A and B are shown apart, each in its own frame.
Chain A
Amino acid sequence: EAGVTQFPSHSVIEKGQTVTLRCDPISGHDNLYWYRRVMGKEIKFLLHFVKESKQDESGMPNNRFLAERTGGTYSTLKVQPAELEDSGVYFCASSRGEGYSPLHFGNGTRLTVT
């Protein structure tokens, strides 16, 4: 099966611009998560979708971040306007909906805000 795919793999933008990251989960996985690793620190949880619904968005840093999962398939994470401290690697993960199922991660999107 195809794994979790993320696009783009790398994005360089200027402060104040907008960037949209995309994640395609493994087909059939109801759970979709966004995580990020900033400046070599811990990988931090951002939010969790169950199908198209936001189950938990307690990790979203502020209202400059908007995540969507229309139709319960792929998800986008928009940063608008981007700030310098948003630089880091944004990971997406997915898992099946029932029982215990480990998270499958994508390769991440490296975001650099200059």
Chain B
Amino acid sequence: GEDVEQSLFLSVREGDSSVINCTYTDSSSTYLYWYKQEPGAGLQLLTYIFSNMDMKQDQRLTVLLNKKDKHLSLRIADTQTGDSAIYFCAENYGGYQKVTFGTGTKLQVIP
């Protein structure tokens, strides 16, 4: 089976960096994703990384992938109150972007 695990909660102060971690089990994953869900909204694709990459940076977001340890992380630099949301790590398997999601990490940004 496929499992994706995340810590449930993270609290940071505004302006600090946030690091959300995720571990997955399917070594055949092709893509790994980070989705953001704000209250009452759908799942917004933040970024994704191909399994043959180690790092991807997009403005304030940095994704690190350690394939050996099956560990994925999302770093948000200069965290803002608008970053408060639930962040889901996900991996694809079985083609057609059929993905497995983690339980989500609730990020709370303290002003």
A residues at B contact (CB < 8 Å)? 3-4, 6, 31, 33, 35, 40-45, 48, 50, 55-56, 91, 93, 95, 100-108
Contacts and interface: CB of A to CB of B under 8 A. Distances in A.
18 contacts: A31-B96, A35-B101, A42-B4, A42-B101, A43-B90, A43-B104, A44-B101, A45-B99, A48-B98, A50-B96, A55-B96, A91-B42, A100-B31, A102-B48, A103-B45, A103-B99, A105-B35, A105-B42
Contacts of A106: 42
Nearest to A44: B101
B43 interface: yes
Contact of B97 (A4, A42, A91, A103): A103
B42 A41 contact: no
B40 interface: yes
B100 interface: yes
Contact of A107 (B42, B88, B90, B98): B42
A5 to B, nearest CB: 10
B66 interface: no
A27 to B, nearest CB: 17
Given A42-B100, A102-B45, A105-B35, 16 more contacts: A3-B42, A31-B96, A31-B97, A35-B101, A42-B4, A42-B102, A42-B103, A43-B90, A45-B98, A45-B99, A56-B98, A91-B42, A91-B43, A95-B97, A103-B97, A105-B45
A74 to B, nearest CB: 16
A40 B31 CA distance: 24
A83 B43 CA distance: 26
Nearest to A47: B98
Interface string B91-111: 000101111111110000000
Interface residues of B, number: 23
Nearest to A106: B42
Q: Would you list the 6 A-B pairs with minimal beta carbon distance, nearest first?
A: A105-B43, A43-B101, A107-B42, A105-B42, A102-B45, A106-B42
B42 A102 contact: no
Contacts of B97: 31, 33, 95, 100-103
